[in-house]
């Protein structure tokens, strides 16, 4: 068997982040006075949030700066009085942690792969959010553990994130690991930086990058078929 350890990204790989985010931002805006939350509002927040996470991955901002940059902009755009640092942020984290819907075939995939591999979560998310979502989704029963950037001290794609994960697992042999995720800039670049094989879960093969995943699968079911070949 080529690999022994599978390092899974969480959001948009195993858990449906889009539905969790949509529900959370809707509840948040409802609480702060917007009764009719439109698709445009959700899309704007999603784009703004993604741009901040991109800055975090490039080490241009800290996670704390990310947290407190999100909602003043949203309030200004939609005419909501910003209630003060920490209030909307805390509410959003709570609402987001309630979203634990698995991605299609995620449960079946981890159940099957856990019979032959050790499975771990590797996430840039927040501890209280990811731990609750993974637990309540039911995925936790098939996992050996999780590594979250807030605990590790580094974020993907920093090689040190993965090096610390390998240290804690107790096996530094990088050839026995496979990183599985949906993000070219966090998961795949992280694997390239750390010298670990990667598998991109995507229906489209991305272009415009000067690095590439070791493998590309269109679905988690296809991942099972890929790993059976080794």
> Which residues belong to the active site?
9
CA distance 99 to 28: 14
Q: Shortest CA distance to 28 belongs to which of 76, 73, 95? A: 95
HSE-CB at 9 with a 13 A cutoff on CA atoms is 29
Cβ(212)–Cβ(197) below 8 Å = no
Q: Strand locations in 113-158, DSSP E?
A: 118-123, 145-148
CA end-to-end distance (rounded Å), the chain: 6
Joined together, the tokens standing for residue 96 give 């987001």
């Amino acid at each position: 068997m080529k690999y022994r350890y599978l390092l899974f990204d969480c959001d948009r790989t195993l858990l449906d982040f889009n539905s969790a985010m949509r529900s959370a931002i809707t509840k948040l805006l409802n609480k702060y006075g917007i009764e009719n939350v439109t698709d445009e509002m959700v899309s704007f927040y999603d784009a703004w949030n993604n741009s901040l996470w991109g800055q975090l991955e490039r080490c241009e901002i800290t996670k704390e700066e990310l947290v407190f940059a999100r909602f003043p902009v949203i309030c200004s755009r939609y005419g909501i009085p910003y209630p003060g640092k920490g209030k909307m942020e805390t509410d959003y984290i709570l609402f987001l942690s309630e979203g634990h819907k698995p991605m299609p075939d995620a449960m079946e995939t981890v159940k099957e792969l856990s019979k032959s591999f050790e499975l771990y979560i590797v996430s840039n998310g927040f501890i209280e959010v990811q731990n609750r979502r993974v637990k309540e989704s039911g995925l936790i029963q098939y996992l050996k553990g999780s590594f979250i950037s807030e605990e590790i001290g580094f974020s993907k794609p920093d090689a040190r994130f993965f090096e610390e994960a390998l240290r804690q697992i107790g096996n530094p042999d990088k050839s026995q690991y496979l990183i599985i995720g949906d993000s070219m800039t966090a998961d795949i670049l992280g694997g390239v930086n750390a010298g670990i094989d990667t598998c991109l879960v995507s229906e489209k093969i991305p272009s415009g990058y000067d690095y590439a995943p070791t493998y590309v699968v269109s679905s988690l079911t296809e991942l099972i078929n890929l790993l059976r070949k080794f």
